Amino acid sequence: MCQYCGTKYPAEELTFDHVIPQVQGGQATWENIVTACLACNNKKGGRTPQEARMRLIRIPAKPRSMPLMTITVGIKNAPLSWHDYLYWNVELSDQ
């Protein structure tokens, strides 16, 4: 689900959005990345949600437990900080 407009999309149609953009020093961490549709991600651009006058539906946070999820399509370039929490059919490197 897009964390800006609330629309549900198939995973392959969602993007990762840095809440605090990388150009402003935002990191690829659980606390700074949300899913967003392409339209909202483009609208927000290199701005914070406040600067873009967009409201987040949920504030991003690191999961309290290690959820077991099978990802078969969609998330091709997950942020490195997410790798420990995603189940893949192949072993991920620690890099």
Domain segments of the chain: what residues? Answer: 11-85
Question: Tens of pLDDT along 54-92?
Answer: 999 999 998 887 655 554 445 556 677 666 655 544 443
Beta bridge partners of 16: 35
d(CA 49, CA 55): 6
pLDDT in tens, 18-45: 999 999 999 999 999 999 999 999 999 9
Distance, in Å, from the CA atom of 5 to the CA atom of 94, rounded to the nearest integer, reads: 34
Residues 14, 2: contact at Cβ < 8 Å? Answer: yes
Angle at 95 between CA 88 and CA 29, to 5 degrees: 80
Cα–Cα dist 10/51, whole Å: 28
Q: What is this structure's pTM?
A: 0.68
